[in-house]
Amino acid sequence: MSFVRLFVLTTGICFAAGLSQASSILLHWTAPGDDGRVGRAAQYDLRYSTSPITSTNWNTATRVGGLPTPLPYGNREAFTVSGLLPSTTYYFAIRAADEALNWSIISNIAQRTTCSGCVGTTGNVNGSADGRVDLIDLTTLIAYLTSGGAQICNEAANVDASSDGVISLSDLSLLTAYLTAGVPLPSCPKN
């Protein structure tokens, strides 16, 4: 069974809905083969913890359910781990097994801290603790929309308050209008 390398990239999206609601982290990895670089694994075992994961404490880490069937070797995979607490550092690791349940060793350990959630006004795209909406938020949103090169707090980036939560050019337009012309932004939902 091949080794799986887990990535929590700076392009990982940090979804945060509010201080009393759960956050999520988007993880990426490359699918291993069944026999080296051939075929596909039969299943994954993804785990997370608030302490670094090792082979010693693997079984005490929280197992993530609902993982997809592994893709063939070399394909990029992604999965969002939901139900995480805001402002908390999590460690993630994954293993893969073949059809005979020969398990790989534990992947590298990826670490990410969830966003703090909405702090009062949407538009705080970078999740700054002071809640200020400024040019850094605009720059972060542009980087996210053009190259995926930014971590964002989705609740705050959903400036147009679309019910589907999709972050789009509409959100960028509204944030630009707020920063340049003072157009009001919607408030966070009260918890």
Encode the chain (191 residues) as per-residue pLDDT tens digits: 555 665 543 233 444 443 334 567 778 888 888 877 888 999 999 999 999 999 999 999 999 999 999 999 988 888 878 788 877 889 999 999 999 999 998 988 988 877 655 433 467 777 676 667 778 878 878 877 777 555 666 666 777 766 556 677 777 888 888 778 777 776 544 43
CATH assignment of the domain containing 36: 2.60.40.10
| CA distance linking residue 132 with residue 111, whole number of Å | 26
Q: Measured on CA atoms in the order 142, 145, 151, 152, is the torsion positive or negative?
A: positive
Using an 8 Å Cβ cutoff, are 170 and 182 in contact? Answer: no
Residue 48 and residue 106 in one domain: yes
| CA distance linking residue 149 with residue 159, whole number of Å | 19
Domain that residue 185 falls in: 118-191
pTM greater than the 0.85 cutoff = no
Overall number of domains in the chain = 2
Structural domain contains residue 1 = no
Structural domain contains residue 86 = yes
Residue 74 and residue 103 in one domain: yes
